[in-house]
Amino acid sequence: MRETAILLISCPDRKGILAEITGFIAKHGGNILHADQHIDFQKEIFFMRIEWDLSNFEIPKEKLPESFQPIAEKFQMDYQIKFSSDIQNVAIFVSKYDHCLYELLYRFKAGELRGNLKFVISNHPDLKPVVEMYGVPFYHFPKSKKNKLEVEEKEIELLKKEKIDLIILARYMQILSDRFVNEFRNKIINIHHSFLPAFVGAKPYHRAYERGVKIIGATSHYVTEELDQGPIIEQDVVRVSHRDSIEDMIRKGRDLEKLVLARAVRWHLENKILVYDNKTVIFD
């Protein structure tokens, strides 16, 4: 696989942005592989993801930010530069439900998700054998109402020490503190087992059953301070009918949850997501 650079940009929309960026890449010998652009005409914001082959690109990777800086300033860009060779470090948080965990373990192992899965953290010991079966370290951090913040500090310490770039809450049934969320802004992906914004909070399948909906869903999103209110990354749905008991909904929902979470994780690891205004732009 050839090495590539990826530029993720958002800035006020103005004439000539695209010409400037593509001109810069072309001038230095870069071959553009993907260019995806989007304008929010309501808010007049320009978004872009552009990826180019580095094989004959004249600017060395470490000099790229410096070289690009003048353009960024000219257009007041908010931007990130990523390289396909930079593999992100990942941690999974889990409680007792195991279907999302199995799915992620398999996909990391199979190479479908490009990331270093460094460890799994849980507030329960139950899933230790599963995790270790895949040769991944497992940390048990029991939590009570009392010690929650303390324990979180230890988790943050571990996550920082291991330079974790992405935290996946794979049906982790705990609410994270604002302090925690703040440390990892747009770096925590949660899976919620409803079609948000319907059924925010606990027991969404029970409430879906009570309401008599004909379709249920799952939603992956970045975690923010407000419960289930973060930027939505992906959603999917499945039909249900009066024949489906709550147990059937939970079963059908599991299949959604694991796919919807896996898609979000893949896009994040491939640097395909831009967050703005509590929403996401997915350059798929």
Closer residue to a second copy (CB): 163 or 214: 214
How far apart are alpha carbons 252 and 238 in whole angstroms?
7
Question: Which tokens belong to 1?
Answer: 């696989």
- Name the nearest CA neighbour of 78 among 33, 48, 103, 52: 48
Q: Which long-range contacts (CB under 8 A, 24 or more apart) does 247-253 make?
A: 249/205, 249/208, 249/209, 249/216, 250/205, 252/216, 253/193, 253/205, 253/216, 253/218
Rounded to a whole number of angstroms, the minimum distance from the CB of residue 47 to a second copy is 8
How far apart are alpha carbons 284 and 281 in whole angstroms?
9
How far apart are alpha carbons 117 and 109 in whole angstroms?
9
**228 catalytic, yes or no?**
yes
- Name the nearest CA neighbour of 9 among 78, 69, 84: 78
How far apart are alpha carbons 64 and 5 in whole angstroms?
9
- Applying CB under 8 A, which of residues 8, 117, 164, 281 lies at the interface with a second copy? 281
Closer residue to a second copy (CB): 154 or 239: 239
Closer residue to a second copy (CB): 40 or 183: 40
Interaction of residue 259 with a second copy, rule CB under 8 A? yes
Interaction of residue 225 with a second copy, rule CB under 8 A? no
Closer residue to a second copy (CB): 151 or 246: 246
Interaction of residue 206 with a second copy, rule CB under 8 A? no
**Residues numbered 68-87 forming contacts with a second copy, rule: CB under 8 A:** none
Helices and strands (H and E) in the chain: how many: 8, 13
Interaction of residue 11 with a second copy, rule CB under 8 A? no
Exactly one of 126, 228, 236, 248 is catalytic; name it. 228
Q: Which residues are catalytic?
A: 228
Chain residues in the site for a second copy (CB under 8 A): 15-16, 18-20, 22-23, 25-27, 29-42, 47, 98-99, 102, 106, 110, 112, 133, 195-199, 211-215, 217, 231-237, 239, 241-243, 245-246, 251, 255, 259, 277-282, 284
